Amino acid sequence: MNARTTLRLTVGALALCCAAGAQASDYLVTTDWLEENLGAEDLRIVEVSVNPGVFERGHIPGAVNFAWHADLVDPVKRDIASREDFEALLQQSGIDDDTTVVLYGDTNNWFAAWGAWVFDVYGVDVKLLDGGRKLWEAEGRPLSTQPLQPAAGTIALAEPDEALRARLPDVLAAAEGDGTVLVDIRSNDEFTGKILAPDGVKELAVRAGHVPGAVNVPWGQAVAEDGTFKPAEELKALYAAAGVDGSQPIITYCRIGERSSHTWFALTKILGYEVANYDGSWTEYGNSVGVPIENPSGTVWTGQ
């Protein structure tokens, strides 16, 4: 196969190039595989990072840049990008209906996973670079500062799949015991109400704590030291220990929906569970009037 001119991404090929467990998923590619396929005509690489300027300082050759706070969201209301705007973005990036799209980003693929969730909402299967930017750079793989100007693509998007997205009423129903499992993936200090949010973040809620009945499995427990996902059997055991075994529908949430997308990806794409991501997350729930909150730390107002 000439990886520079054509891309053959079959299940069998992935199984050969990837390790056992999570790395054999149809939704993950290795750094080896991606470097071997740089330049393939039917491959588009998309970086979705949180830290400004990272892409411009050097990115995977051939990648385009999606700004999560501008390209993937509605410019006026708190919402993901509309079908029309997202379709235009993908076409502008040279993506066709049969293009293989690989996403990656910094901070262990937090926002790349959120991007993958947005793609999935609109019916487009994408893959994550396992280990993301962290592993790519640690291994000394090539970076480029050259901007990409692809020919326009022709992809057409479906209407959004609302089953992949949890809303506040869905979370309240789960808190009241409708059989849906709530997975809070924030740190234990956030979950217990000791703090409102990690240091340095701007998006806050006026109340601390968690949704009643939620279990706490911090997102970082799903990854190895190098930023790759742990093998599927380890992930299955990790979540089963918290009572999450895929036998019931699942809702993941965090603070603004990006870390919970990382767990959504692990549970949905690697383990095959039925999962909706609550992108309103704690900045919506913790600011909502009249909703029940559990707060083991005993804080009442703005974490005090």
pLDDT at residue 59 tops 70? yes
Query: Which 8-state DSSP code applies to residue 55?
Result: H
Q: Which CATH class is domain 165-285?
A: alpha beta
Average pLDDT of the chain is: 90
* Nearest CA among 153, 140, 138 for reference residue 46: 153
Structure confidence at residue 4 (pLDDT): 34
Q: Could you tell me the pLDDT band of residue 25, with boundaries at 50, 70 and 90?
A: low
CA distance 30 to 16: 11
- Using the Cα atoms of residue 241, residue 244, residue 245 and residue 247 in order, give the sign of their dihedral: positive
Q: To the nearest whole percent, how much of the chain has pLDDT over 70?
A: 90
pLDDT at residue 16 tops 90? no
Q: Could you tell me the pLDDT band of residue 35, with boundaries at 50, 70 and 90?
A: very high
User: What phi and psi, each to the nearest 5 degrees, are found at residue 178?
Assistant: -80, 5
Structure confidence at residue 215 (pLDDT): 98
Query: Which 8-state DSSP code applies to residue 229?
Result: B
pLDDT at residue 236 tops 80? yes
Structure confidence at residue 138 (pLDDT): 97
Average pLDDT over residues 7-21: 38
Q: Among 25-29, 166-170, 198-202, 211-215, which is the least confidently predicted range? A: 198-202
Q: Is the Cβ–Cβ distance between 244 and 220 less than 8 Å?
A: no
Name every residue whose Cβ is closer than 8 Å to that of residue 88 and which is 6 or more positions away in sequence: none
pLDDT at residue 214 tops 60? yes
Q: Is the Cβ–Cβ distance between 91 and 153 less than 8 Å?
A: yes
Reported as type and span, the H/E element at residue 169 is helix 168-175
Check 254, 270, 271, 275 and give the catalytic one: 254
* Nearest CA among 254, 247, 246, 245 for reference residue 278: 254
Same fold, 11-160 and 165-285: yes
Candidate CATH numbers 3.40.250.10, 3.40.30.10, 3.30.70.1230, 3.30.43.10; the one for domain 11-160: 3.40.250.10
CA distance 248 to 275: 9
14 Rama sector, left if φ>0, alpha if ψ -120 to 50, beta otherwise: alpha
Average pLDDT over residues 3-22: 38
pLDDT at residue 24 tops 50? no
Place of tokens 């592993």: 135
Whether 17 is catalytic is no
pLDDT tens sequence across 124-161: 999 999 999 999 999 999 999 998 889 999 999 999 99
CA distance 158 to 229: 29
Choice between 298 and 271, residue whose per-residue pLDDT is larger:
271
Other C-beta atoms closer than 10 Å to the C-beta of 212 total 15
Residues paired with 165 in a beta bridge: 277
CA distance 238 to 232: 10
Place of tokens 């991007």: 115
Query: Which 8-state DSSP code applies to residue 89?
Result: H
Q: Could you tell me the pLDDT band of residue 10, with boundaries at 50, 70 and 90?
A: very low
Q: Could you tell me the pLDDT band of residue 28, with boundaries at 50, 70 and 90?
A: very high
CA distance 153 to 199: 41
Domain ranges of the chain: 11-160, 165-285
Average pLDDT over residues 212-232: 97
Structure confidence at residue 144 (pLDDT): 97
Both tokens assigned to 40: 């393939």
Q: Could you tell me the pLDDT band of residue 9, with boundaries at 50, 70 and 90?
A: very low
Q: Is the Cβ–Cβ distance between 60 and 128 less than 8 Å?
A: no
What value, to the nearest 5°, has the Cα angle with vertex 265 and ends 259 and 268?
Answer: 135
Indicate the residue type of 126: V
Q: Could you tell me the pLDDT band of residue 303, with boundaries at 50, 70 and 90?
A: low
Residues paired with 47 in a beta bridge: 65, 104
* Nearest CA among 66, 201, 179, 74 for reference residue 126: 66
